[in-house]
Structure 1
Amino acid sequence: MKLLRVGPQGAERPVVLGEDGAAYDLSGRTPDIDGAFLSSLDPAELARAVADGELPSTDIAGLRVGAPVARPGKVVGIGLNYRDHAAEAGAQIPDEPVIFLKPSNTVVGGYDEVLVPRGSEKTDYEVELAVVIGRTARYLESDQEAAAVIAGYATVDDVTERAFQNERGGQWDKGKSAETFTPLGPWLVTADEIADPQQLTLRLWVNGELRQNGSTAQMIFPVLETIRYVSQFMVLEPGDVVITGTPAGVTLGHPGASFLRPADVVEAEVEGLGRQRVVLGKA
């Protein structure tokens, strides 16, 4: 199932897309697509409700599409998780996953404006597979346990200001935390729809030019191992989002290419999870 949130920022309503592409209103079941809803999500039961006509159809044409998860408790990032990206960044292949955190207020919709922060010199893009947590996860012991806590997947762009990240005291969070730096969506696709999260193509375009073209098969630490690993260091809760790293092709890997500027158009997609399109503005 594809879950999304539509409407003005701060007043979105939850919607599910049926197999026929029609939209059905979830407001009668949940006020929002949040941790509480995701913790009890049963995709099969939701599909049955759509098929049986229990959910009213709704017209979402022309409506803003917000982030598919409301108010995630935290966004957990995994750095240098593709060998080709580590190479283009001049970094060593990590022995263990590199973890960083992004504030939840960086999350916006996949068609919202992304703001280039004040003082920015090197705002960059990173298309990634996002994992949305649906069950509390602590000290997971196996891939099977990790799979059981995943509610679904989404496309995400881990926008990063490289100068803030690498040239301002070595704090990754400085380059990852500006407002709007985590455009998520357009949809959340429930985990049952993704047969193998390690066989998904990722692509990103800047002003129509293909910059990134990779596959989750190239991950150093696969999705389930990543979720299991993160749970050893922090509790993952329903509604949390884990973003799993980017393949090669960021601006660092394109000598002579310009970093992002206001009015640039960035499109990112993960196979089966939809394409987002953001226009950059100025903070």
Structure 2
Amino acid sequence: MSTTTAFPIRQWPTLTITGESVKYAVHRIFCVGRNYAAHAAEMGAEVDREAPFYFTKSALAFAASGQTLPYPPATSNYHHEVELVVAIGAEAFRIAPAQSRGAIYGYGCGLDMTRRDLQLAAREKQRPWDTAKDVEHSAVIADITPADRFGVPASQRIRLTVNGEPRQAGRLSDLAWGVDELISDLSHYYHLAPGDLIMTGTPAGVGPVRPGDEIVGEIEGLTPVHLTVGQPE
């Protein structure tokens, strides 16, 4: 028996995998908040040392690196945040940190673009951040590098420039909650599965961008992520 729908079913977006002919289908996007102490401080907060905390972006917020994407509506303070992205490649549910490495398919460099004015207004009213974070084209991610070609996240440099000027810089060792801890913790809330992405947090130096700006995010050993901010729609 065939099933029809009122509207065409949208396909899951896909990411290019370095050195592979197949692609990585994006399922869910989990994002970690305040996972670098210096960034938490610049936002007037502290790292939660009891447990990580998360917000999510729809898979439809994903955008491939290298595009010109419009400045989004309803904001006058659109910010860049460069992040290590972890691509899950195996099912994981209620696993220990020591088991987390077996669930990792690979890593990428990504941008968590944020309507900062909406985030701060929501935070002041103790409301969710959805309209600030789950923004169309706001999860910009470069090609995924398989884990065995990258190694283990350690002291690799992470940085971001806007129009060639340095904005953000740090090391992956600055993560308050490491990759293994994040995967384990998330697996106690969700049945993690291939296609899930985890954006692990951003170092200090976040700031606004404007139409025409060229953003480049880099992590040692990974494909850089590129974004040109286009004109508002």
**Band of TM-score, shorter chain:** 0.7 to 0.9
The answer for the alignment partner of 1:215 in structure 2 is 171
The answer for unaligned runs of 5 or more in structure 2 is: 1-11
Match of residue 111, structure 1, among 48, 51, 66: 66
Cα distance in 2 for residues equivalent to 1:100 and 1:90: 18
The answer for unaligned runs of 5 or more in structure 1 is: 1-9, 18-23, 27-31, 34-68, 252-258
What's the CA shift string for 1:107-126, capped at 9, x where partnerless? 11110123321121110011
Matching of residues 1-283 of structure 1 within 5 Å: 16-17=18-19, 26=21, 32-33=22-23, 69-70=24-25, 72-95=26-49, 96-143=51-98, 145-168=99-122, 169=125, 170-185=127-142, 187-251=143-207, 259-281=208-230, 282-283=232-233
Is the contact between residue 112 and residue 183 of structure 1 (CA under 8 Å) also seen in structure 2? no
**Alpha-carbon deviation of 1:93?**
2.0
Cα distance in 2 for residues equivalent to 1:149 and 1:83: 26
Q: RMSD in angstroms over aligned alpha carbons?
A: 2.1
> How many residues are matched?
218
**Alpha-carbon deviation of 1:171?**
1.8
> TM-score under structure 2 normalisation?
0.87
Cα distance in 2 for residues equivalent to 1:219 and 1:11: 28
Is the contact between residue 77 and residue 209 of structure 2 (CA under 8 Å) also seen in structure 1? yes
Bigger Rg over Cα: 1
**Alpha-carbon deviation of 1:269?**
1.0
SS in 1 for 2:67: coil
Cα distance in 1 for residues equivalent to 2:153 and 2:17: 24
SS in 2 for 1:226: helix
What's the CA shift string for 1:177-204, capped at 9, x where partnerless? 111101101x211111222212221110
The answer for the alignment partner of 2:8 in structure 1 is none
Is the contact between residue 203 and residue 270 of structure 1 (CA under 8 Å) also seen in structure 2? yes
Is the contact between residue 18 and residue 144 of structure 2 (CA under 8 Å) also seen in structure 1? no
Q: Identity percentage over the alignment?
A: 31
SS in 2 for 1:274: coil
SS in 2 for 1:113: strand
**Alpha-carbon deviation of 1:11?**
10
Specify whether residues 245 and 124 from structure 1 end up closer, same or farther in structure 2 by C-alpha distance, changes over 3 A only.
Answer: same
What's the CA shift string for 1:65-94, capped at 9, x where partnerless? xxxx33x11100001001111111110221
Specify whether residues 13 and 97 from structure 1 end up closer, same or farther in structure 2 by C-alpha distance, changes over 3 A only.
Answer: closer
Is the contact between residue 115 and residue 179 of structure 1 (CA under 8 Å) also seen in structure 2? no
Is the contact between residue 16 and residue 144 of structure 2 (CA under 8 Å) also seen in structure 1? no
